[in-house]
Amino acid sequence: MYLLGTELSVRRRGDSVSGVKSTGRRVALSLASANGFSLIELVMTITIMTILTMGVIPLVKVSVRRQKEQRLREVLREMRTAIDEFHRDTLGMVCTGGVAGSTLSGQPVPVPNQNTPPDPRSRVVISDCTIFGVDNPDHYPPELQTLIEGVNVIPRGNTSLGGRGLGTSDSKTTLDTQASTKKKVYLRALPIDPITGKAEWDFRSCYDAIDSTSWGGENVFDVRSKAKDTALNGEKYSDW
Question: pLDDT tens digit string along 7-17?
Answer: 444 444 455 44
Indicate left, alpha or beta for 101 from its phi (over 0: left) and psi (-120 to 50: alpha).
Answer: left
Q: How many CB atoms lie within 10 A of CB 195?
A: 21
Least confident of 109-118, 133-142, 164-173: 164-173
Which pTM was predicted?
A: 0.64
Residue 82 φ then ψ, to 5°: -65, -40
The predicted structure's pLDDT at residue 180: 53
Predicted confidence at residue 35, as pLDDT, reads 59
Whether 18 is covered by a domain: the verdict is no
In a domain, 103, yes or no: yes
Q: Which of 8-12, 82-86, 134-138, 220-224 has the lowest mean pLDDT?
A: 8-12
Give the pLDDT score at 95: 57
Q: Report residue 36's pLDDT band, with 50, 70 and 90 as the boundaries.
A: low
For the chain, how many residues are written? 240
| 27 assigned to some structural domain | no
Q: Which of 145, 151, 98, 148 is nearest to 126 (CA)?
A: 151
Number of domains in the chain: 1
CA dihedral of residues 68, 144, 185, 123 (deg, nearest 10): -100
Asked if the structure places residue 240 within a domain, the reply is yes
Helices (runs of H) and strands (runs of E) counted in the chain: 3, 9
> Are the beta carbons of 221 and 140 closer than 8 angstroms?
yes
Nearest residue to 232 (alpha-carbon basis) of 76, 80, 75, 68: 68
DSSP 8-class letter at 98: S
Residue 146 lies in a domain: yes
Domain span including residue 121:
35-240
Which range among 20-24, 34-38, 219-223 has the greatest average pLDDT?
A: 219-223
Name the DSSP class of 168.
T
| Residue 238: strand, helix, or coil | helix
State the average pLDDT over residues 10-28: 48
Model confidence at 173: pLDDT above 90: no
Q: For residues 69 and 169, which has the higher predicted lDDT (pLDDT)?
A: 69
**Quick one: pLDDT at residue 116?**
55
Question: Residue 219 and residue 198: Cα distance in Å, rounded?
Answer: 22
Q: What confidence score (pLDDT) does residue 235 get?
A: 93
Whether 110 maps to a domain, the answer reads yes
* pLDDT tens track for 200-210: 999 999 999 88
Beta bridge partners of 222: 204
- Say whether 2 sits in a helix, a strand or coil: coil
87, part of any domain: yes
CA–CA dist 232, 62 (Å, integer): 8
**Does a structural domain hold residue 2?**
no
Question: Residue 83's CB: how many other CB atoms inside 10 A?
Answer: 21
Percent of the chain topping pLDDT 90: 40
